[in-house]
Amino acid sequence: MESSEENLEIAKHRVLLTGASGFIGSHVLRDLSERAGFEVHPLSRYKRGREWLQADICNEDEIDALELSGYSEIVHCAGRAHIMRESDANPLQSYRDVNVVPTARLARKAAESGVKRFIFISSVKVNGESTVARGAFKETDKPAPEDAYSVSKMEAESVLLSIARETGLEVVIVRPVLVYGAGVKGNFRTLMKLASSRLPLPVAAFKNKRSLVGVDNVADFIGVCIEHPGAANEVFLVSDGRDLSVSQLLCELSRAAGRPSFQFPFPLRLLEVTAQLFGKRAMFRRVAGSLEVDSSKARELLHWQAPVSLSDGLKRCFKDME
């Protein structure tokens, strides 16, 4: 017969994971499921397996019907993702309806049900969009969101910290920078295709710096945030700890793809004008701009180090494309 201590160790952390079918959520699900002492229950709008829970976080009745009393932690990855070309007539309200209201409802129910800790996946965009005229972003900086998506994330953070003060629920806010990894889409996937194309690229003059984080590193960090006592009621910027220019990133991507990198200098202003002609000015500015973070708090307070190197993380991106 197993001792009571052994039984407790088996289910030390019983975790409810929302957004488990998404890019970050799917990696968190795999990471936590492989950890000793973790019992993970994925939640999605659509039932994807016998062990999956089904609920729409935007449906008040469905959230109210969830039985949360047996969970020790909730990892909240679900939400409305950032959209480059927003067509909604009232984008801020649309983001609030998904990123703020359901988050607050779920957190309050968690507190009432005895859940100990609530980990919320936010975004570096709460800090701002660029560090060109300043130093790296820190957690202590005044928020400076510039679009509806980042405003909604900031508001969700604020309401969660308020709930924490009112109820004693421990809240952990994680602000990842640009996330890459197996299954990545958007601008990063476009860069991957360029890097593996063997085409000469006019990026040698780029001197910008951007912080990156591998999705497997984000998942590992969330696991640390679940277990570490020092994570309670803290905000963390999370990155790999290595900042790259577009030129450097494309070199690394080419290396990961097993292809040579061909780059030449070209005036950045002309590149921006060309991008504007093709309706890609916003994408150009995102790629060409600088956004650096100081993620030393995670290392110093939680003793966390990114377990997956940049080169290995990029190789996983290309393996997923095969």
User: Residue 218 sits in a domain of what CATH number?
Assistant: 3.40.50.720
What is the pLDDT at residue 10?
Answer: 58
Report the C-alpha gap between 50 and 68 in whole angstroms.
Answer: 18
The residue range of the domain holding 74 is 4-181+212-241+291-307
- Residue 276 falls within a domain, yes or no? no
Kindly give the confidence (pLDDT) of every residue in the chain, 322 residues in length, as a single tens digit, with 9 standing for 90 and above: 344 444 445 568 999 999 999 999 999 999 999 999 999 999 988 777 778 898 898 999 999 999 999 999 999 999 888 665 556 778 899 999 999 999 999 999 999 999 999 999 999 999 999 998 888 999 999 999 999 999 999 999 999 999 999 999 999 999 999 999 999 998 899 999 999 998 999 999 999 999 999 999 999 999 999 999 999 999 999 999 999 999 999 999 999 999 999 999 999 889 889 888 888 887 787 788 899 999 999 999 999 999 999 999 999 999 887 6
- Residue 279 falls within a domain, yes or no? no
- Residue 321 falls within a domain, yes or no? no
Of the candidates 46, 71, 95, 149, the residue annotated as catalytic is 149
What is the pLDDT at residue 86?
Answer: 59
What is the pLDDT at residue 285?
Answer: 79
> 317 to each of 79, 175, 256, 303, how far by Cα in Å?
23, 21, 9, 27
Provide the token pair at 65: 């019907």
Residue 217 phi, psi (nearest 5): -70, -40
Q: Considering just the CA atoms, what is the radius of gyration of the chain in Å?
A: 20
- Residue 187 falls within a domain, yes or no? no
Report the C-alpha gap between 77 and 83 in whole angstroms.
Answer: 17
What is the domain count for the chain?
1
- Residue 17 falls within a domain, yes or no? yes
At 112, which amino acid appears? E
- Residue 64 falls within a domain, yes or no? yes
- Residue 143 falls within a domain, yes or no? yes
- Residue 166 falls within a domain, yes or no? yes
Verify whether residue 46 is a known catalytic residue.
Answer: no
Residues 6+ apart with CB under 8 A from 226: 13, 15, 32, 38, 73, 75, 117, 119
At 40, which amino acid appears? V
Map residue 196 onto helix, strand or coil: coil
User: Which pTM was predicted?
Assistant: 0.90
